[in-house]
Structure 1
Amino acid sequence: MHSHPDHSHRHHSETAGRALWLATTLTLVYAGVEAGVGWWAGSLALVADAGHMVNDAAALALAAAAAWLARRPASARHSYGFGRAEFLAALVNSLGLLILVAWLAISAVQRLYDPQPVIGEAVSLAAVVGLAINLLVAWLLSRGERNLNTRAALLHVLGDLLGSVAALFSGLVIAFTGWTPVDPLLSIGIGGLVLASSLRLLREALHGLMEGTPFNLALEEVGRALTTVPGVASVHDLHIWSVAPGQVMLSAHLVVLDLRRWETMLNACHALLAERFAIDHATLQPEPETRTVYWLKVRGKESKANTKHD
């Protein structure tokens, strides 16, 4: 016996998908402009930021495609639907960020050992435009649903936002002081920030794909809460997992005192799970207490027999 999931997830994915496609277009157009200016001005921070934005455009497109795929209805062959595509997109995006950070670190170290002339004024001007674009894209993404997929995309954009700030700062420093090492040093600093966020995102994506208990829920706490429902003696075989970001499933066996009151207990359990833990899809199997006691006795006898035999 179970309750059905909230189908508003499909509407949220549609809204998020539109924002992601618009963000992809804006990011890709500016990346080309920034790359050209950065190459001409000799700024690694600007070229790195442009490369980051190209990577982000691909990441945003992937996130948008995953949001579109997640809207497809469930079928006989895919009974849970396609929401798990958002976990896969977040995984790929986090791996892409890690590769980008590695490239950024290598390029920055090379630039420290072999300094190149940088046109600070051009860098600052391009960075100001990039900052405006990144703020607009971040605003577009922050308006929609904040699931793992859109968070992954937003993380890419925030990395670009930091890159634009760093490019602006390095351009000003170079224009006024001529000290070019500030450019690769800031690139390394941004890479460190992006690395920490990417590892956290990778962990969450893998956790979801491995059907781990959502980080915001404690298995023991949910089990204890179910036993507070009148008539529920105990809970076992409790499992909680996500089939997609924001779509939590639960299954459990409930040992009940009076099976005749099961319908009342079932409604109370579903209400508790929805209101307290935001779990709208739960499959609960009742077990009479007498059957459980008998099963425990049988297991106890088997255990003793095995001990004597050994």
Structure 2
Amino acid sequence: MTSAADPARTAEPLDAFREDRTYLGADHARNERRTWIVTGICAVTLVAQVIGGMMFHSMALTASGLHMAAHVAALLVASGAYALARRHAEDPRFAFGTGKIGYLAGFGNAVVLGITAILIAVESLQRLIAPEGVDYAAALPLAVAGLAVNLVCVWLLKPTHAAAGRHDHDGDLNLSAAHLHLSADAVVSVLAIAGLLAGARLGWRFADPLAGLVGAALVAQFALTLVRRASAALLDMNPSAELTADIRSRLEAEGERVIDLHLWRLGPGHHAAVAVVASDAPGSPEAYRARLKSVAGLSHVTVEVRGPDAHHDHHHGRGSV
């Protein structure tokens, strides 16, 4: 076993680590490109829905437009996060790369989405208390058009899982957040159409603002889900009990004991692990790294080996291990 002080053993791994600390998702370029395209589509739809809602006095249509406004803002943040992560991928100030910029964007978008839900709920309640006349015939076509646009955008931002490992449960959260926003908006659009139809066919003036209230509740639920997922990654919570158990099992395959193990996310499809292995007859750090080589999504590994004489041996791994 070679001491960590041996420069011949430490130079190569450290250089390799520097080369591999971007930790961007496998579909980063594709996701960035499609996010910009969807941003443009949603911006045009936003203008049409808000103007239509004001002209025809439809709360459901206005709610759909306000929700779309939140999507445009979210998509701008998501697109900017992709660009920022790519631009600073080799910046040495980021010790573990820029893979988490997308999680930060997702958290910010979730907060904005929650605020939007509150605004929609307040306005819908006001309309329930003091209903306004709605031009159902004019509002319905815009609501249907909004739904069609949402469905197209949801399809464009559909996440791919080609590069995701079996332990990587959330993939690219930045893209997932944008996709979730638009999926929610599609549901809100359906509610808007239902409210308008109920008002036009049955004369239920309360149906339109009620649809806005239900939509607000759904938006709030989506926002809460995003906050939880983004916070877990930003606070380095253990991303997978299954992956942790797999790593521990492999390191203890020959009677060793893992006395410390930390696992966290570095970016979409990338995890880091730090392990301390104790054994009466310890192997080399390379031997333990070899046991983890086939673990999908494990991109950076640090192994410390402790023998009976309490000797410490450190090894810093790179990329795929």
TM bin (shorter chain)? 0.7 to 0.9
Question: Residue 20 in 1 paired to residue 32 in 2?
Answer: no
Instruction: Measure how far apart 1:219 and its partner are.
Output: 7.2
Instruction: Measure how far apart 1:47 and its partner are.
Output: 0.7
Between 240-249 and 151-160, the greater mean CA deviation after superposition = 240-249
Residue matched to 2:276 = 253
Residue matched to 1:301 = none
Partner of 2:98: helix, strand, or coil? coil
Aligned to 1:82, which of 79, 93, 98? 98
- Aligned mates of 2:265, 2:187 — CA distance in 1: 32
Within a 5 Å distance, the mapping from 1:116-135 to structure 2 comes to 116-135=132-151
Structure 1 segments unaligned to the other structure (5+ residues) = 293-310
Contact 1:87–1:245 (CA<8 Å) still a contact in 2?
Answer: no
Contact 1:213–1:219 (CA<8 Å) still a contact in 2?
Answer: no
Question: Residue 33 in 1 paired to residue 58 in 2?
Answer: no
Aligned to 2:63, which of 48, 58, 64? 48
Q: Which amino acid aligns with 1:244?
A: G
- Aligned mates of 1:8, 1:227 — CA distance in 2: 24
What TM-score, normalized by structure 1, do the two folds share?
0.85
Q: Pick the structure with greater CA Rg.
A: 1
Partner of 2:150: helix, strand, or coil? helix
Contact 1:119–1:171 (CA<8 Å) still a contact in 2?
Answer: no
Instruction: Measure how far apart 1:254 and its partner are.
Output: 1.0
Instruction: Measure how far apart 1:258 and its partner are.
Output: 2.7
Change (3 A) 1:220 1:36: closer
Give a deviation string over 1:62-95, Cα, whole Å, max 9, x none. 0011112222323322232222211110111000
- Aligned mates of 2:234, 2:73 — CA distance in 1: 22
- Aligned mates of 2:21, 2:226 — CA distance in 1: 25
Aligned to 1:92, which of 69, 90, 108? 108
Change (3 A) 1:208 1:123: same
- Aligned mates of 2:247, 2:291 — CA distance in 1: 14
Aligned to 1:244, which of 254, 267, 281? 267
Instruction: Measure how far apart 1:227 and its partner are.
Output: 4.0
- CA RMSD across the alignment: 2.3
Change (3 A) 1:188 1:289: farther
Contact 1:17–1:68 (CA<8 Å) still a contact in 2?
Answer: yes
Question: Residue 9 in 1 paired to residue 34 in 2?
Answer: no
- Aligned mates of 1:74, 1:14 — CA distance in 2: 16
- Aligned mates of 2:175, 2:83 — CA distance in 1: 12
Runs of 4+ with deviation above 4 angstroms? 1-8, 143-146
Give a deviation string over 1:195-253, Cα, whole Å, max 9, x none. 12211210111111111111x335762454134422x5111221111122432111111
- Aligned mates of 2:36, 2:250 — CA distance in 1: 42
Change (3 A) 1:270 1:155: same
Within a 5 Å distance, the mapping from 1:167-246 to structure 2 comes to 167-214=192-239, 216-218=240-242, 221-222=245-246, 224-230=248-254, 233-246=256-269
Partner of 2:134: helix, strand, or coil? coil
More helix by share: 1
- Aligned mates of 1:262, 1:81 — CA distance in 2: 24
Q: Which amino acid aligns with 1:173?
A: A
Alignment: residue pair count: 286
Residue matched to 2:304 = 285
Residue matched to 1:263 = 286
Change (3 A) 1:44 1:189: same
Give a deviation string over 1:34-55, Cα, whole Å, max 9, x none. 1111111110110111111111
Question: Residue 66 in 1 paired to residue 81 in 2?
Answer: yes
Residue matched to 1:111 = 127
Partner of 2:293: helix, strand, or coil? helix
Q: Which amino acid aligns with 2:79?
A: A
- Aligned mates of 2:74, 2:213 — CA distance in 1: 21
